[in-house]
Amino acid sequence: MLQDKGTDQRQGGPNLLTVGLGQVTEQDLIASTRTYYVQTRVSATIGVAGGTTDATSIANRGSVLALLDEVILNEAGSVAGRLDARALGVFNEIAAPKDLSSRATRLTSADLGVGTYTIEESVYYNVALGALLRKSGEVSYVPKSAMARFFLQYRTVGAASVHDRLYVGGDRVVTVSALDAEVVQHHDNVSSKSAMPVFMSGYRQVANEVISGTVTDFEIELNTQYPVCALLVQQISGEIEVDDIITKISLIGPNRNPIPDRIAAATYADLVSRRFAGNLPAGYLPIVFVGGGNLSDMYNPAMNPRIRLRVDAAVSASAGTSSIRVWAWELYTRAGLTAPIPAAILAQ
Protein backbone atom coordinates (compact mmCIF):
# COMPACT_ATOMS: atom_id res chain seq x y z
CA MET A 1 0.00 0.00 0.00
CA LEU A 2 1.19 3.52 -0.69
CA GLN A 3 1.46 5.44 2.53
CA ASP A 4 2.07 9.12 3.17
CA LYS A 5 2.97 9.12 6.85
CA GLY A 6 2.16 12.81 7.17
CA THR A 7 -1.52 12.35 6.44
CA ASP A 8 -4.40 10.14 7.45
CA GLN A 9 -5.15 7.64 4.70
CA ARG A 10 -8.82 6.66 4.63
CA GLN A 11 -11.14 4.38 2.76
CA GLY A 12 -14.14 5.56 0.78
CA GLY A 13 -16.68 2.76 0.65
CA PRO A 14 -17.06 -0.11 0.32
CA ASN A 15 -19.73 0.43 -2.33
CA LEU A 16 -21.38 -2.65 -3.79
CA LEU A 17 -22.31 -2.53 -7.48
CA THR A 18 -24.44 -4.98 -9.40
CA VAL A 19 -22.77 -5.28 -12.79
CA GLY A 20 -24.70 -6.38 -15.88
CA LEU A 21 -23.21 -8.13 -18.88
CA GLY A 22 -22.67 -6.02 -21.98
CA GLN A 23 -22.97 -2.82 -19.97
CA VAL A 24 -20.90 0.00 -18.52
CA THR A 25 -21.29 0.35 -14.76
CA GLU A 26 -20.04 3.47 -12.99
CA GLN A 27 -18.79 4.16 -9.47
CA ASP A 28 -18.35 7.75 -8.29
CA LEU A 29 -15.15 8.55 -6.41
CA ILE A 30 -14.25 11.35 -4.03
CA ALA A 31 -12.58 14.04 -6.13
CA SER A 32 -11.41 16.43 -3.42
CA THR A 33 -8.65 14.22 -2.03
CA ARG A 34 -5.53 12.38 -3.15
CA THR A 35 -6.35 8.87 -4.33
CA TYR A 36 -3.68 6.23 -3.82
CA TYR A 37 -5.61 3.40 -5.40
CA VAL A 38 -9.11 2.03 -5.92
CA GLN A 39 -9.64 -1.61 -5.00
CA THR A 40 -12.40 -3.51 -6.80
CA ARG A 41 -13.35 -6.97 -5.57
CA VAL A 42 -15.20 -8.63 -8.45
CA SER A 43 -17.26 -11.77 -7.89
CA ALA A 44 -19.57 -13.85 -10.04
CA THR A 45 -21.55 -17.07 -10.00
CA ILE A 46 -20.89 -19.15 -13.11
CA GLY A 47 -23.44 -21.70 -14.29
CA VAL A 48 -22.51 -24.49 -16.72
CA ALA A 49 -25.42 -26.51 -18.13
CA GLY A 50 -26.96 -27.94 -21.31
CA GLY A 51 -25.07 -29.29 -24.28
CA THR A 52 -23.33 -32.66 -24.35
CA THR A 53 -19.59 -31.96 -24.30
CA ASP A 54 -17.48 -30.46 -21.55
CA ALA A 55 -14.86 -27.80 -22.26
CA THR A 56 -11.34 -29.09 -22.83
CA SER A 57 -9.59 -26.44 -20.72
CA ILE A 58 -9.95 -23.19 -18.80
CA ALA A 59 -9.39 -19.86 -20.58
CA ASN A 60 -7.88 -16.68 -19.14
CA ARG A 61 -6.74 -18.49 -15.99
CA GLY A 62 -10.39 -18.87 -14.99
CA SER A 63 -10.30 -15.30 -13.70
CA VAL A 64 -13.44 -13.25 -13.16
CA LEU A 65 -11.45 -10.30 -14.55
CA ALA A 66 -11.92 -11.86 -18.00
CA LEU A 67 -15.55 -10.72 -17.79
CA LEU A 68 -14.44 -7.07 -17.67
CA ASP A 69 -13.39 -5.73 -21.06
CA GLU A 70 -12.08 -2.48 -19.63
CA VAL A 71 -11.54 -0.51 -16.45
CA ILE A 72 -11.78 3.21 -17.25
CA LEU A 73 -10.87 6.22 -15.09
CA ASN A 74 -13.05 9.18 -16.03
CA GLU A 75 -12.77 12.85 -15.09
CA ALA A 76 -15.80 14.97 -15.94
CA GLY A 77 -16.55 12.89 -19.02
CA SER A 78 -12.95 12.74 -20.23
CA VAL A 79 -11.10 9.41 -20.17
CA ALA A 80 -7.99 9.72 -17.97
CA GLY A 81 -6.92 6.08 -18.29
CA ARG A 82 -8.25 2.77 -19.56
CA LEU A 83 -7.05 -0.80 -19.92
CA ASP A 84 -8.08 -4.43 -20.10
CA ALA A 85 -8.91 -5.68 -16.59
CA ARG A 86 -6.76 -8.78 -17.18
CA ALA A 87 -3.75 -6.58 -17.97
CA LEU A 88 -4.46 -4.43 -14.92
CA GLY A 89 -4.40 -7.56 -12.79
CA VAL A 90 -0.97 -8.48 -14.17
CA PHE A 91 0.34 -4.96 -13.54
CA ASN A 92 -0.81 -5.50 -9.94
CA GLU A 93 1.11 -8.76 -9.77
CA ILE A 94 4.44 -7.43 -10.99
CA ALA A 95 4.35 -4.58 -8.45
CA ALA A 96 3.07 -6.60 -5.50
CA PRO A 97 5.19 -7.45 -2.48
CA LYS A 98 3.50 -10.86 -2.38
CA ASP A 99 1.47 -13.13 -4.63
CA LEU A 100 -1.91 -11.44 -5.08
CA SER A 101 -3.28 -14.33 -7.13
CA SER A 102 -3.17 -16.58 -4.07
CA ARG A 103 -6.15 -14.61 -2.72
CA ALA A 104 -8.21 -15.11 -5.87
CA THR A 105 -10.80 -17.83 -6.43
CA ARG A 106 -10.67 -18.97 -10.06
CA LEU A 107 -12.04 -21.74 -12.23
CA THR A 108 -9.83 -24.83 -12.36
CA SER A 109 -9.71 -28.03 -14.40
CA ALA A 110 -12.17 -29.50 -11.89
CA ASP A 111 -14.80 -26.98 -13.09
CA LEU A 112 -15.08 -28.00 -16.74
CA GLY A 113 -18.36 -29.88 -16.45
CA VAL A 114 -21.95 -29.08 -15.52
CA GLY A 115 -22.20 -27.21 -12.24
CA THR A 116 -22.31 -23.88 -10.45
CA TYR A 117 -19.06 -22.15 -9.53
CA THR A 118 -18.20 -18.96 -7.65
CA ILE A 119 -15.15 -16.96 -8.69
CA GLU A 120 -13.80 -13.72 -7.23
CA GLU A 121 -10.69 -11.57 -7.40
CA SER A 122 -9.46 -8.09 -6.49
CA VAL A 123 -7.98 -5.64 -8.96
CA TYR A 124 -6.37 -2.33 -8.04
CA TYR A 125 -6.41 0.81 -10.20
CA ASN A 126 -3.26 2.92 -9.56
CA VAL A 127 -1.97 0.10 -7.39
CA ALA A 128 0.76 0.75 -4.83
CA LEU A 129 4.16 1.20 -6.45
CA GLY A 130 6.04 0.32 -3.27
CA ALA A 131 7.66 -2.83 -4.63
CA LEU A 132 9.08 -0.88 -7.57
CA LEU A 133 9.92 2.55 -6.14
CA ARG A 134 11.83 3.23 -2.95
CA LYS A 135 10.14 6.59 -2.48
CA SER A 136 6.57 5.92 -3.53
CA GLY A 137 4.75 8.17 -1.05
CA GLU A 138 4.85 11.04 -3.53
CA VAL A 139 2.72 9.14 -6.06
CA SER A 140 -1.06 9.49 -5.98
CA TYR A 141 -3.88 10.80 -8.18
CA VAL A 142 -5.62 14.18 -8.01
CA PRO A 143 -8.40 15.10 -10.48
CA LYS A 144 -8.26 18.40 -12.36
CA SER A 145 -11.28 19.71 -10.46
CA ALA A 146 -12.49 18.83 -6.99
CA MET A 147 -15.99 19.88 -8.06
CA ALA A 148 -16.26 17.84 -11.26
CA ARG A 149 -17.45 14.25 -11.40
CA PHE A 150 -14.64 11.70 -10.89
CA PHE A 151 -15.49 8.04 -11.40
CA LEU A 152 -14.45 4.57 -12.50
CA GLN A 153 -16.26 2.68 -15.25
CA TYR A 154 -16.40 -1.08 -15.65
CA ARG A 155 -17.19 -2.28 -19.18
CA THR A 156 -18.28 -5.93 -19.23
CA VAL A 157 -18.36 -8.47 -22.05
CA GLY A 158 -21.65 -9.50 -23.60
CA ALA A 159 -23.47 -12.71 -22.67
CA ALA A 160 -22.43 -14.33 -25.97
CA SER A 161 -18.75 -13.97 -25.06
CA VAL A 162 -18.90 -15.51 -21.60
CA HIS A 163 -18.18 -19.09 -22.71
CA ASP A 164 -15.12 -18.14 -24.73
CA ARG A 165 -13.79 -15.86 -22.00
CA LEU A 166 -13.78 -18.68 -19.44
CA TYR A 167 -13.64 -21.98 -21.35
CA VAL A 168 -11.98 -23.55 -24.40
CA GLY A 169 -14.03 -26.04 -26.40
CA GLY A 170 -17.21 -27.92 -25.53
CA ASP A 171 -20.80 -26.97 -26.19
CA ARG A 172 -22.08 -26.31 -22.69
CA VAL A 173 -24.10 -23.16 -22.07
CA VAL A 174 -22.23 -20.84 -19.68
CA THR A 175 -24.16 -18.16 -17.83
CA VAL A 176 -23.26 -15.50 -15.26
CA SER A 177 -25.38 -14.48 -12.31
CA ALA A 178 -24.65 -12.28 -9.30
CA LEU A 179 -21.83 -10.38 -11.04
CA ASP A 180 -20.90 -7.86 -8.36
CA ALA A 181 -18.13 -5.35 -7.76
CA GLU A 182 -17.22 -4.06 -4.30
CA VAL A 183 -15.32 -0.78 -4.67
CA VAL A 184 -13.08 0.83 -2.03
CA GLN A 185 -11.21 4.10 -2.64
CA HIS A 186 -8.01 4.55 -0.61
CA HIS A 187 -7.34 8.27 -0.20
CA ASP A 188 -6.19 11.06 2.10
CA ASN A 189 -8.53 13.21 4.11
CA VAL A 190 -6.62 16.34 3.10
CA SER A 191 -7.46 18.58 0.17
CA SER A 192 -5.44 18.32 -3.02
CA LYS A 193 -4.20 21.88 -2.58
CA SER A 194 -2.69 21.28 0.86
CA ALA A 195 -0.80 18.10 -0.04
CA MET A 196 0.06 17.74 -3.70
CA PRO A 197 1.72 14.58 -4.97
CA VAL A 198 4.90 14.76 -7.02
CA PHE A 199 3.66 12.31 -9.66
CA MET A 200 0.41 10.82 -10.86
CA SER A 201 0.17 7.27 -12.13
CA GLY A 202 -1.86 6.01 -15.07
CA TYR A 203 -2.26 3.33 -17.72
CA ARG A 204 -2.66 3.52 -21.50
CA GLN A 205 -2.57 1.20 -24.47
CA VAL A 206 0.39 2.20 -26.64
CA ALA A 207 0.17 -0.49 -29.33
CA ASN A 208 -2.27 -3.06 -30.71
CA GLU A 209 -0.82 -5.08 -33.58
CA VAL A 210 -2.64 -7.90 -35.39
CA ILE A 211 -0.35 -10.77 -36.38
CA SER A 212 -1.64 -12.44 -39.56
CA GLY A 213 1.39 -14.56 -40.47
CA THR A 214 4.91 -15.48 -39.44
CA VAL A 215 7.13 -12.40 -39.05
CA THR A 216 10.80 -12.01 -38.17
CA ASP A 217 12.39 -8.92 -36.63
CA PHE A 218 9.02 -7.17 -36.84
CA GLU A 219 8.93 -3.67 -35.32
CA ILE A 220 5.97 -2.29 -33.36
CA GLU A 221 6.29 1.42 -32.58
CA LEU A 222 5.00 2.36 -29.13
CA ASN A 223 2.98 5.53 -28.68
CA THR A 224 4.48 6.65 -25.36
CA GLN A 225 3.94 10.21 -24.10
CA TYR A 226 5.07 10.29 -20.48
CA PRO A 227 7.94 8.72 -18.49
CA VAL A 228 7.27 4.98 -18.34
CA CYS A 229 7.67 2.87 -15.20
CA ALA A 230 6.80 -0.37 -16.97
CA LEU A 231 5.42 -1.80 -20.19
CA LEU A 232 3.26 -4.90 -20.35
CA VAL A 233 3.17 -6.96 -23.54
CA GLN A 234 -0.08 -8.97 -23.77
CA GLN A 235 -0.67 -11.79 -26.26
CA ILE A 236 -4.33 -12.35 -27.17
CA SER A 237 -5.97 -14.80 -29.58
CA GLY A 238 -9.67 -14.21 -30.03
CA GLU A 239 -11.03 -13.93 -26.49
CA ILE A 240 -8.18 -15.51 -24.54
CA GLU A 241 -4.64 -14.98 -23.30
CA VAL A 242 -2.05 -17.13 -25.09
CA ASP A 243 1.72 -17.53 -24.94
CA ASP A 244 2.55 -18.76 -28.45
CA ILE A 245 2.42 -15.59 -30.57
CA ILE A 246 5.79 -14.05 -29.67
CA THR A 247 8.84 -16.27 -29.95
CA LYS A 248 11.57 -13.62 -29.57
CA ILE A 249 11.50 -10.10 -28.15
CA SER A 250 13.67 -6.98 -27.91
CA LEU A 251 13.04 -3.31 -27.07
CA ILE A 252 15.05 -0.58 -28.75
CA GLY A 253 15.18 3.21 -28.89
CA PRO A 254 17.35 5.90 -30.48
CA ASN A 255 19.48 6.49 -27.37
CA ARG A 256 18.61 3.59 -25.11
CA ASN A 257 18.04 -0.09 -25.85
CA PRO A 258 16.45 -1.73 -22.78
CA ILE A 259 16.48 -5.19 -24.43
CA PRO A 260 19.10 -4.75 -27.17
CA ASP A 261 19.15 -8.28 -28.57
CA ARG A 262 16.21 -10.46 -29.42
CA ILE A 263 15.80 -13.02 -26.66
CA ALA A 264 13.52 -16.05 -26.62
CA ALA A 265 10.19 -14.98 -25.13
CA ALA A 266 10.09 -18.00 -22.80
CA THR A 267 13.60 -17.24 -21.51
CA TYR A 268 12.70 -13.59 -20.95
CA ALA A 269 9.52 -14.55 -19.07
CA ASP A 270 11.57 -16.82 -16.77
CA LEU A 271 14.08 -14.04 -16.08
CA VAL A 272 11.38 -11.51 -15.25
CA SER A 273 9.39 -13.94 -13.08
CA ARG A 274 12.35 -14.38 -10.76
CA ARG A 275 12.56 -10.65 -10.07
CA PHE A 276 9.11 -10.31 -8.52
CA ALA A 277 7.23 -11.98 -5.72
CA GLY A 278 4.05 -11.96 -7.78
CA ASN A 279 2.90 -14.76 -10.06
CA LEU A 280 3.52 -13.85 -13.72
CA PRO A 281 0.83 -15.45 -15.91
CA ALA A 282 1.74 -17.11 -19.19
CA GLY A 283 1.23 -14.85 -22.19
CA TYR A 284 2.47 -11.67 -20.52
CA LEU A 285 5.92 -10.12 -20.87
CA PRO A 286 6.50 -7.17 -18.51
CA ILE A 287 9.34 -4.75 -19.18
CA VAL A 288 10.04 -2.93 -15.92
CA PHE A 289 12.34 0.10 -15.96
CA VAL A 290 12.21 1.00 -12.25
CA GLY A 291 12.70 -2.48 -10.82
CA GLY A 292 15.77 -1.24 -8.91
CA GLY A 293 13.71 1.43 -7.16
CA ASN A 294 15.11 4.47 -8.97
CA LEU A 295 12.80 6.97 -10.62
CA SER A 296 15.73 8.09 -12.74
CA ASP A 297 15.53 4.69 -14.47
CA MET A 298 12.12 5.48 -15.99
CA TYR A 299 12.03 5.40 -19.77
CA ASN A 300 11.64 9.04 -20.83
CA PRO A 301 10.18 9.45 -24.35
CA ALA A 302 11.32 13.08 -24.36
CA MET A 303 14.89 11.77 -24.45
CA ASN A 304 14.09 8.65 -26.49
CA PRO A 305 11.13 9.60 -28.70
CA ARG A 306 10.89 6.41 -30.78
CA ILE A 307 10.77 3.26 -28.72
CA ARG A 308 10.01 0.07 -30.65
CA LEU A 309 9.17 -3.45 -29.68
CA ARG A 310 10.94 -5.85 -32.04
CA VAL A 311 9.58 -9.39 -32.20
CA ASP A 312 9.60 -12.68 -34.00
CA ALA A 313 5.97 -13.75 -33.99
CA ALA A 314 3.41 -16.08 -35.58
CA VAL A 315 -0.32 -16.71 -35.53
CA SER A 316 -1.44 -18.51 -32.37
CA ALA A 317 -2.57 -22.10 -32.54
CA SER A 318 -5.71 -20.97 -30.67
CA ALA A 319 -8.74 -19.87 -32.64
CA GLY A 320 -9.33 -16.19 -33.28
CA THR A 321 -7.40 -13.11 -34.35
CA SER A 322 -3.86 -13.05 -32.94
CA SER A 323 -2.90 -9.70 -31.44
CA ILE A 324 0.00 -8.17 -29.55
CA ARG A 325 -1.14 -5.41 -27.23
CA VAL A 326 1.24 -3.20 -25.27
CA TRP A 327 0.16 -1.26 -22.18
CA ALA A 328 2.20 1.51 -20.54
CA TRP A 329 2.30 2.31 -16.83
CA GLU A 330 3.26 5.96 -16.77
CA LEU A 331 4.08 8.67 -14.26
CA TYR A 332 3.31 12.24 -15.15
CA THR A 333 2.94 15.70 -13.65
CA ARG A 334 -0.01 18.07 -13.87
CA ALA A 335 0.39 21.84 -13.62
CA GLY A 336 -1.05 23.19 -10.39
CA LEU A 337 -1.82 19.75 -8.98
CA THR A 338 1.61 18.18 -8.62
CA ALA A 339 4.51 19.51 -6.61
CA PRO A 340 7.99 20.21 -8.05
CA ILE A 341 10.08 17.06 -8.32
CA PRO A 342 12.54 17.02 -5.38
CA ALA A 343 16.21 16.83 -6.30
CA ALA A 344 16.57 13.89 -3.91
CA ILE A 345 14.17 11.83 -6.01
CA LEU A 346 15.87 12.72 -9.27
CA ALA A 347 19.21 11.78 -7.74
CA GLN A 348 18.14 8.29 -6.63
| Domain-located, residue 6 | no
Q: What is the DSSP string of 83-119?
A: E-HHHHHHHHHHH-SS-GGGG-B---GGGSSSEEEEE
What confidence tens digit (pLDDT) does each residue in 4-37 have?
Answer: 334 455 666 688 899 989 999 999 998 888 888 8
Arithmetic mean of pLDDT, 179-208: 80
DSSP letters for 175-187: EEEEEEEEEEEEE
Residue 171 lies in a domain: yes
What's the predicted TM-score (pTM) here? 0.89
Q: Partners of 76 in the beta sheet? A: none
Which helix (DSSP H) or strand (DSSP E) does residue 17 occupy? Answer: strand 9-18
pLDDT of residue 348: 44
Asked if residue 329 belongs to a domain, the reply is yes
- CA terminus-to-terminus distance, the chain: 21
Domains identified in the chain, total number? 1
Give the rounded percent of residues in the chain with a pLDDT score beyond 70: 84
CATH number of the structural domain spanning residue 282: 2.60.120.730
DSSP label at 290?
Answer: -
Residue 2 lies in a domain: no
> Is 289 among the domain residues?
yes
Q: Phi/psi of residue 206, each to 5°?
A: -115, 0
Give dist(CA 339, CA 267) in Å, integer: 41
Q: Do residues 174 and 46 make contact, with C-beta atoms less than 8 angstroms apart?
A: yes
Task: Answer yes or no: is 29 within a domain.
Answer: yes
In terms of C-beta density within 10 A (0-12 exposed, 13-18 middle, 19 or more buried), how is residue 47 classed? middle
Q: Is residue 334 part of a domain?
A: yes
Contact status, residue 210 vs residue 325, Cβ threshold 8 Å? no
Per-residue pLDDT of 282-328, as tens digits, reads 899 999 887 666 667 788 887 788 899 999 999 999 989 999 999 99
Distance CA(224)–CA(287), nearest Å, equals 14
| Containing structural domain, residue 118 | 11-346
In a domain, 280, yes or no: yes
